[in-house]
Amino acid sequence: MTQLTNVPNPADFSHVRDWVFDLDNTLYPHRVNLFAQIDRNMTAFVSELLQVDGVEAKKLQKQYYLEHGTTLKGLMIHHKVDPDAFLQKAHSIDYSPLIPHPELGEAIKALPGRKFIFTNGSVPHAEATARALGILEHFDDIFDIVAADYVPKPAGETYDKFVALNRVDTNRAAMFEDLPRNLKAPKERGMKTVLIVPNNLGETVLESWEYAGSEDDHIDYLTEDLEHFLTALNRAL
Ligand SMILES: [Mg+2]
């Protein structure tokens, strides 16, 4: 089982030249819960589009998420929804719960090589989020759901698209994510994988990890503090 640690072995990362970060719940803590706002906006969008009440809208929203990986993909297939209109509405949120995190910015900046955001959200959402955290300037590029042709992680083809577009050598890359399933494809492609777990839920999450047994073979590291993990890594590299 992967052990929880904030102190990575530098030998595992000394070859890495491309650093790939998920956005939501990875670059800011899970407890900020921006998703609750996005979730409400998506429900409102579905409700307005299909002229159904909130309960019915929520049901459809979740059904599409389960069947197609994102609510948007389901809306595009079944209702020919304009993805731009949906993404704009979904991400019309209040970013003020995000607190600037200059130490994280410094840690990302100090990593040797390129840094990417790879998100199932949109570029405007990623930019607004990273700007609110004060870390936007440290990234070379953002790969979003539009660049992915609306096929979300964890689909392998979407990682391949990201890798090809940016000429990433997956054997010299690392990926940071809060969803275990999104680390399977990068691990299969040779990347180092780091799972970020919520620190306020640490014990609960760890317990469920123990139950998972060997299911976490695709996770190289498990940390509850991205900033400390990267700072320790920079010191050792
Ligand atoms: Mg995430």
pLDDT per residue over 17-53, tens digit each? 999 999 999 999 999 999 999 999 999 999 999 999 9
- State in Å: Cα 56 to ligand 1 middle: 26
Please state the domain count of the chain: 2
Q: Which residues surround ligand 1, an ion (CB under 5 A)?
A: 22, 24-25, 178
Residue 68 corresponds to which amino acid? H
CA of 26 to the centre of ligand 1 (A): 5
User: Could you tell me if 117 and 195 lie in one domain?
Assistant: yes
Ligand 1: distance of its center to the CA of 164 in Å? 22
CA of 51 to the centre of ligand 1 (A): 30
- Rg of the Cα atoms in the chain: 18
212 pLDDT higher than 70: no
Cβ-based neighbours of 217, under 8 Å, separated by 6 or more: 187
CA of 179 to the centre of ligand 1 (A): 6
Domain hosting 51: range is: 34-90
Do 42 and 22 share a structural domain? Answer: no
The verdict on residue 78 lying in a domain is: yes
Q: Which helix (H) or strand (E) holds 195?
A: strand 192-196
Among residues 72, 90, 108, the one where a domain terminates is 90
Other Cβ atoms closer than 10 A to 67: 12
Residue 55 and residue 157 in one domain? no
Tell me the CA–centroid distance for residue 60 and ligand 1, in Å. Answer: 22
Å from CA of 11 to ligand 1 middle: 26
Q: Show the DSSP H helices in the chain as ranges.
A: 34-50, 54-68, 71-79, 83-90, 102-110, 123-133, 156-166, 184-188, 202-212, 226-236
Instruction: Let me know if residue 148 belongs to a domain.
Output: yes
Q: What does the pLDDT look like over 96-147, one tens digit per residue?
A: 999 999 999 999 999 999 999 999 999 999 999 999 999 999 999 999 999 9
More confident residue, 197 or 203: 197
Helices within 51-122 (DSSP H only)? 54-68, 71-79, 83-90, 102-110
Mean pLDDT, rounded, of the chain: 93
Predicted confidence at residue 1, as pLDDT, reads 62
Domain for residue 1, yes or no?
no
Q: Who contacts 44 (Cβ-Cβ below 8 Å, separation ≥6)? A: 54, 57, 89
* Dist. CA 24 → ligand 1 center (Å): 4
Q: What is the mean pLDDT of residues 8-25?
A: 96
**CA 72 – CA 116 distance, rounded (Å):** 23
Would you state the pLDDT for residue 44? 98
Decide if 126 is inside a domain: yes
The rounded Å distance from CA 177 to ligand 1 centre is 6
CA distances from 228 to 36, 49, 103, 153, 204 (A): 27, 44, 9, 26, 21
Residues 126 and 69 grouped into a single domain: no
State whether 104 and 71 are in the same domain: no
Same domain, 215 and 172: yes
Residue 210 has pLDDT above 60, yes or no: no
d(C-alpha 83, C-alpha 71), whole Å:
11
Contacts of 47 (CB under 8 A, 6+ apart): 53, 54, 56, 57
